[in-house]
């Protein structure tokens, strides 16, 4: 008995995932976290309308979700001033990135991203045998010009760019990205991940013709809408590209209650505005707590703040470890020099009270170590 005959590609890959979840850390530590400020979850939660709609929908969970996500796509199209044919709904941005990799990446195909950018994208590219080429950040920002130049150099099929950026929280004006696209090769697709754009200053979103074949824009209900557990994301793009998703996507992958909840959340823009305000207040307080402890916080257009610990990645990891040991779940960038920072998600006042208490303790312990 030899077991399944894996493909050579699958056999060559490590059995790992991009992130270790807080639940796994809690099991390893034998206790729950006192505050979850590491996964960029929206602790302010979904709109009460979304919660009520999902609760009411629970009795209908014996039915599959609408495989076309018709109602949600129609509402999104109205909000964005485009047609439903330009929108695909999927199981979060992560699910849509996986579908795109399946559609476009064959073994040996080249793909460009930033060194230290969102690792789940890299995970999907590796899973289909793509070859990743990476360019460094410039001044804690992803560098569109360098990304597009590298794409031309290596003949990349895809370029990945997040705006605003994860893990640094920095951002570019949408118009600057559109201008830089003049150097993007005609046969290269730009994935513009705008997961955090609702938190960003006006003008951050890239304004392009929806039928521009060079670009697909990713949005989500996980962040500003507070529905990370529901797994609802969507992509905006040219109709031929959006239609191509129907060749390979999981048509019954969307949870029925999640579809209904997302539609209700979309219709409660007042709650969204309040959440954005709550997040802005939390960012301000995190920045103040960092300054009180002699640290600097990077300006952020997201629901988290990257806090520069003032030394190298080794020291930042010690700070993170000390925070975790005190019940505060946080994460940090993986690649130098960005790994001199820890990344702290916007939290409730009680969450940030805990941060204010334990950060000086963690810094003291890290410096002693």
Q: What is the pLDDT of residues 298-348, one digit of tens each?
A: 999 999 999 999 999 999 999 999 999 999 999 999 999 999 999 999 999
Residues 86 and 177 in one domain: yes
- Does residue 4 form part of some domain? no
Q: What is the pLDDT of residue 3?
A: 86
Token readout for 108 is 């040996």
Are 111 and 260 contained in the same domain?
Answer: yes
The pLDDT-based confidence of 227 (bands split at 50, 70, 90) is: very high
Q: What is the pLDDT of residues 270-293, one digit of tens each?
A: 999 999 999 999 999 999 999 999
| Mean pLDDT within 353-365 | 98
d(CA 312, CA 336): 8
pLDDT above 70 covers what percent of the chain?
100
CATH of the domain at 330: 3.90.1150.10
Using alpha carbons, select from 219, 214, 206, 223 the residue that is nearest to residue 241.
214
N residues, the chain: 369
Q: Is 1 a member of any domain?
A: no
- Are the C-beta atoms of residues 365 and 323 closer than 8 Å to each other? no
Predicted local distance difference test score (pLDDT) of residue 114:
98
For residue 6, what are the CA distances in angstroms to 12, 14, 17, 126? 9, 13, 18, 16
- Give the Cα-Cα-Cα angle 33, 34, 38 (nearest 5 degrees): 60
Q: How many CB atoms lie within 10 A of CB 320?
A: 23
**Residue 90: strand pairing partners:** 233
**pLDDT for the residue numbered 50:** 98
In a domain, 9, yes or no: no
Q: Is residue 349 part of a domain?
A: yes
Chain CA centroid to CA 85, Å: 24
Task: Please report whether residue 216 resides in a domain.
Answer: yes
70 and 84 assigned to the same domain? yes
Q: Which domain range does residue 326 map to?
A: 16-45+270-368
- Whether 79 and 39 map to the same domain: the answer is no
Give yes or no for residue 184 having a pLDDT over 90. Answer: yes
Residue 260 has a pLDDT of 98
153 and 236 together in one domain: yes
Under the banding of pLDDT at 50, 70 and 90, the label for residue 99 is very high
The per-residue pLDDT for 278 is 98
Q: Do 156 and 202 fall within a single domain?
A: yes
Please report the pLDDT score of residue 172 as a whole number: 98
| pLDDT, tens digit (0-9, with 9 covering 90-100), for 162-180 | 999 999 999 999 999 999 9
Give the mean pLDDT of 195-212. 97
- 339 and 356 in a single domain? The answer is yes
* Neighbour order of strands in the sheet with 215-220: 87-90, 233-237, 215-220, 189-193, 158-162, 110-114, 131-135
CATH code for position 173: 3.40.640.10
Model confidence band, residue 19 (pLDDT cutoffs 50, 70, 90):
confident
End of a domain among 211, 240, 267?
Answer: 267
361 and 282 together in one domain? yes
pLDDT single digits (tens) 60-98: 999 999 999 999 999 999 999 999 999 999 999 999 999
Domain boundary among 224, 251, 267: 267
Residues 90 and 239 in one domain: yes
pLDDT computed for residue 74 by the predictor: 98
Q: Is 142 helix (H, G, I), strand (E, B) or coil?
A: coil
Confidence of residue 259 (pLDDT cuts 50, 70, 90): very high
DSSP 186-244: TT-EEEEE-TTGGGSPTT-S----TT-TTEEEEEESSSTT--GGG--EEEEE-HHHHHH
The tokens for 357 are 């208490």
What is the reported pLDDT for 17?
A: 82
Look at residue 55 and tell me whether its pLDDT is greater than 90.
yes
Q: How confident is the model over 121-129, as a mean pLDDT? A: 97
Can you give the pLDDT at residue 18? 86
Check whether residue 114 and residue 138 sit in a common domain. yes
If asked whether residues 207 and 98 sit together in one domain, one would say: yes
**Is residue 364's pLDDT more than 80?**
yes
Last residue of a domain, one of 220, 251, 267: 267
Instruction: Domain count for the chain, please give it.
Output: 2
How confident is the model at residue 2, as a pLDDT?
Answer: 82
Domain assignment of residue 189, yes or no = yes
Position 7 in a domain: no
* Residues 318 and 328: beta-carbon distance below 8 Å: no
Co-location of 95 and 165 in the same domain: yes
Residue 87 in domain:
yes
């Amino acid at each position: 008995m030899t077991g399944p005959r894996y493909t050579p590609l699958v056999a060559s890959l490590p059995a790992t995932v991009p992130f270790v979840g807080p639940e796994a850390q809690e099991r390893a530590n034998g206790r729950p976290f006192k505050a979850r400020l590491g996964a960029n979850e929206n602790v302010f939660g979904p709109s009460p309308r979304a919660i009520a709609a999902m609760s009411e929908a629970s009795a209908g969970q014996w039915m599959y979700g609408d495989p076309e996500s018709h109602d949600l796509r129609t509402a999104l199209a109205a909000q964005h001033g485009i047609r439903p044919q330009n929108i695909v709904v999927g199981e979060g941005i992560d699910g849509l990135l996986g579908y795109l990799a399946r559609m476009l990446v064959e073994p040996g195909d080249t793909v460009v991203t930033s060194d230290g950018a969102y690792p789940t994208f890299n995970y999907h590219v590796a899973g289909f045998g793509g070859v990743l080429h990476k360019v460094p950040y410039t001044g804690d920002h992803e560098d569109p010009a360098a990304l597009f130049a590298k794409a031309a150099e290596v003949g990349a099929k895809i370029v990945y760019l997040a705006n605003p950026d994860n893990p640094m929280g920095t951002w570019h004006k949408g118009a600057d990205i559109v201008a830089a696209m003049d150097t993007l090769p005609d046969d290269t697709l730009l994935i513009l991940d705008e997961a955090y754009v609702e938190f960003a200053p006006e003008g951050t979103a890239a304004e392009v013709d929806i039928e521009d074949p060079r670009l697909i824009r990713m949005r989500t209900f996980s962040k500003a809408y507070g529905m990370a557990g529901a797994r609802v994301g969507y992509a905006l793009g040219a109709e031929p590209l959006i239609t191509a998703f129907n060749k390979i996507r999981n048509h019954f992958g969307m949870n029925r209650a999640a579809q209904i909840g997302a539609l209700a959340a979309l219709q409660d823009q007042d709650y969204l505005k309040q959440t954005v305000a709550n997040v802005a207040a939390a960012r301000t307080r995190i920045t103040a707590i960092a300054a009180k402890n002699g640290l600097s916080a990077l300006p952020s257009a997201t629901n988290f703040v990257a806090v520069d610990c003032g030394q190298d990645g080794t020291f930042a990891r010690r700070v993170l470890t000390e925070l975790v040991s005190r019940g505060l779940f946080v994460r940090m960038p993986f690649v130098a020099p960005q790994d001199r920072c820890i990344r702290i998600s916007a939290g409730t006042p009680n969450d940030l009270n805990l941060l204010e208490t334990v950060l000086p303790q963690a810094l003291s312990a890290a410096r002693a170590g």
